[in-house]
Amino acid sequence: MTLKPTTFFASSVSVISGNVSNLQNGLLEYANPEKPTHDHSSVYYQRFYISTFNLDDRTIEAKFSSPMEVGNGDAVTVSGYAKDNRFQVLAYTNKTQQVSKHENWIVLGLGALFFLAVALGLLNSELVAEGALVPKLFLWGFVAVSFYMGYRALLIREAISLLQN
């Protein structure tokens, strides 16, 4: 098993290598409550594919928007962070199947910029200037979402760069 922390996110992002065992795949699906009941199109669903497995002696959990391409016995290197006694995967490389996957950090970064632009637009509104509470709450909410999305994009980017080293 290999474990190497990064320099920028020293306490957060690290790499673990090993062989997959006890693989369990699941699907988490959210339906839009405003969807017409007669329409069963997948456009109205948000799907997350969850894979839990052991990588040598560590419990690993991966949540991606597409199924993870791993099987029992595969040699895998994962990059992510520890959370609640599990290692949360941000990016992975399956050496057995020659596959490398991660979530799209560019879309997260663009989303962060969008929410920051909305917050800046709200900052220039008359309601915030007048001191109304609700617009200020929205302003802080948009800024918080923007920072979270930007931070998450940086984490994924760092996880990808660790796998390439």
Shared domain for 81 and 8, answered yes or no, is yes
State the pLDDT at residue 130. Answer: 80
pTM for the full predicted model: 0.77
> What one-character-per-residue DSSP string does 36-87 give?
-TT---GGGEEEEEEEEEEETTEEEEEEESS-----TT-EEEEEEEEETTEE
pLDDT one-digit tens code per residue, 17-69: 999 999 998 887 776 666 666 666 656 667 788 999 999 888 999 999 888 89
Nearest residue to 163 (alpha-carbon basis) of 40, 60, 61, 14: 14
How many structural domains are present in the chain?
2
State the pLDDT at residue 126. Answer: 78
Confidence of residue 10 (pLDDT cuts 50, 70, 90): very low
Pairing of strands 58-64, 86-94: parallel
Amino acid identity at 16: I
Shared domain for 90 and 145, answered yes or no, is no
Shared domain for 10 and 60, answered yes or no, is yes
Shared domain for 65 and 80, answered yes or no, is yes
pLDDT one-digit tens code per residue, 62-95: 999 888 899 999 999 999 998 888 899 999 999 9
What domain range includes position 34?
3-102
Shared domain for 78 and 123, answered yes or no, is no
Polymer length of the chain: 165
Nearest residue to 56 (alpha-carbon basis) of 93, 20, 4: 20
Shared domain for 89 and 48, answered yes or no, is yes
Structural tokens at position 156: 């994924």
State the pLDDT at residue 5. Answer: 44
Shared domain for 13 and 90, answered yes or no, is yes
End-of-domain residue from the set 102, 135, 152? 102
Amino acid identity at 92: Y
User: Quick one: angle between helices 105-123 and 133-164, nearest 10?
Assistant: 160
Shared domain for 144 and 68, answered yes or no, is no
State the pLDDT at residue 40. Answer: 63
d(CA 146, CA 22): 37
End-of-domain residue from the set 102, 127, 146? 102
Shared domain for 24 and 92, answered yes or no, is yes
Shared domain for 19 and 67, answered yes or no, is yes
End-of-domain residue from the set 102, 119, 135? 102
Shared domain for 70 and 7, answered yes or no, is yes
Shared domain for 62 and 120, answered yes or no, is no
CB 80 within 8 A of CB 90: yes
